[in-house]
Structure 1
Amino acid sequence: MSGAGLHIVFDIAAWLAAGAAVYWLSRRGLKFPSQSFEVPYIAALVFGAGLGAYLFGSLNLWLSGQAGIARSVEGALAGGIVGIELYKWSAGISLRTGARFALPLALGIAIGRLGCYFAGLDDFTYGTPTALPWGHDFGDGISRHPVQLYESTAMAAFAVAYVLAVLNRSDFIVTNGFYLALAYYGLQRFLWEFLKPYGALIGPFTLFHLLSLFILLYAAFMLATASKARPLHERAAA
């Protein structure tokens, strides 16, 4: 199977894993805000994520001197955040609705990045050259950082930690898991960007450095202003 074909297989696996994660969480006695299941909410999320994915993915491609259209996971996250926050503002929703996305997000990225790795050079998600023993030749004779695997491993580790938190009823982590996932994602992604051959936008920083900071600061704000709401498993029992 070609690299592009493997990418599609892992994309599908990522979506299936995300759906399984939502189901698993529901079986743990957690009840998530009903607004996050409503059609307008889903529409705002899909529109924002889709627009962000192609807008920032393509913009980064152009800034790096490449032609064409591209998608970006981080762009989708940033677009989804903006889309949902604008929808909530217009609908007068003050309740935080992201809790059910923490585990699906982590699993989806962990699996999806494997597809990026197997897609090779055409995916333009590979790292810069390295002499480290785990460097990978994607087909051009150059040993590169397998940054896709770095990110996949990092997000898989978060997924495991989050599952343990759910099983142990760690209230703060479960209730604020989405923002913890975003903060963790933004931090690790910011670091990996120094190992990618993308065109700089401001000083040494690429477009995705700036998006990582946006996601990290958004998550930090949401965590810092987190209320003392009842844990999700207590809401389910009420």
Structure 2
Amino acid sequence: MFINNFDPVAFQLFSLEIRWYSLAYIVGILIGWILSKKIFLTNQQVNVKFDDYITYLILGIIIGGRLGYVFIYNFDYYLVNLTDILKIWEGGMSFHGAVAGIIISSLIFGKINNDNSFYYMDVVALVAPIGIFFGRIANFLNSELYGTTTSVPWAVKFIQIDNLSRHPSQLYEAFFEGIVLFVILLYFYKKQYLKIPGKISGFFLFFYSIFRFILEFFRAPDTQLGYLIFGFTMGQIISIIFIIVGLSLILFKNEIIQQR
């Protein structure tokens, strides 16, 4: 059994605390940016615009992720503590909210530049598992989003939380939503699906949500929400919606191909 007692602070720079979660965001975005520019972006005009798009993307991730957490996961608290919404450094980001933010920021950028927004979203979808991987590792180091109690040999005690043996659900998610999902999307990339705007985004939403829905069974529910309808967590309910959206997008794009 592994005892998790990592410090959420990676290191200090003078009086500034650099946390693992912040590093995960920075490293994930930088690696994704580099891979997008060097490998996945084949259209030179879009490649040049991608640097400007990154600003929209980062804003979409931060604003969408934060507001998603506020409205979906902890609305009652922030309703009476409005100023705390701005305290992002205290934690509280929603992946599904970040996805919504990415979609909105991509639509805005595409509209401004008269480009197909799906092409930007497809490239982001290809590299998103990298950021997810680092984000889940940071969750593990922070002793957050931990798993349900278990007696499996690889159980972990998050002693900053309690003294119970739990599933290292963050590592499960890092593997499936990060590594496995990246391999799956690379397969579709090699099948030239990037040439069909929206296709890769559909596969990303579908497979990510499938993994997320299943792995939520090993993850403790949010304490302020608990289990909801049919015993599902909020993450599972939103994942069902994203599965439908992703599948619809895949099928819609198939119809377009057949009509050509």
- The 1:81/1:33 distance shift into structure 2, 3 A limit, reads farther
Structure 1 portions without partners, runs of 5+: 230-238
Summarize the alignment of residues 1-238 of structure 1 with structure 2, pairs less than 5 Å apart: 2-5=7-10, 6-26=20-40, 30-31=42-43, 34=46, 37=50, 45-59=57-71, 61-62=73-74, 70-82=92-104, 84-85=106-107, 96-97=118-119, 98-120=121-143, 123=144, 125-139=145-159, 140-154=162-176, 155-166=178-189, 169-172=190-193, 175=196, 176-195=199-218, 196-198=220-222, 199-226=226-253, 227-228=256-257
**Structure 1 residue 93 displacement after superposition:** 6.6
**Structure 1 residue 165 displacement after superposition:** 4.8
Q: TM-score, normalised by structure 1?
A: 0.75
Deviations 1:72-105 (A, max 9, x none): 2222113333554577689987663322112211
Q: TM-score, normalised by structure 2?
A: 0.69
- The 1:135/1:106 distance shift into structure 2, 3 A limit, reads same
User: Do 1:14 and 1:107's aligned partners in 2 also have CA atoms closer than 8 Å?
Assistant: yes
**Structure 1 residue 174 displacement after superposition:** 6.6
- SS in structure 2 opposite 1:126? coil
- SS in structure 2 opposite 1:30? coil
- The 1:61/1:94 distance shift into structure 2, 3 A limit, reads closer
- Give the length in aligned residue pairs: 221
Amino acid at match of 1:151: E
User: Do 2:221 and 2:227's aligned partners in 1 also have CA atoms closer than 8 Å?
Assistant: no
Structure 2 portions without partners, runs of 5+: 1-5, 11-19, 85-90
Amino acid at match of 1:223: I
- The 1:148/1:201 distance shift into structure 2, 3 A limit, reads same
Matches of 1:147 and 1:90, distance apart in 2: 40
Amino acid at match of 2:251: A
Indicate the RMSD between aligned Cα atoms, in angstroms.
3.4
Larger RCO, structures 1/2 (Cα 8 Å, 6+ apart): 1
In structure 2, the partner of 1:235 is: none
Matches of 1:31 and 1:83, distance apart in 2: 20
User: Do 1:99 and 1:174's aligned partners in 2 also have CA atoms closer than 8 Å?
Assistant: no
- SS in structure 2 opposite 1:137? strand
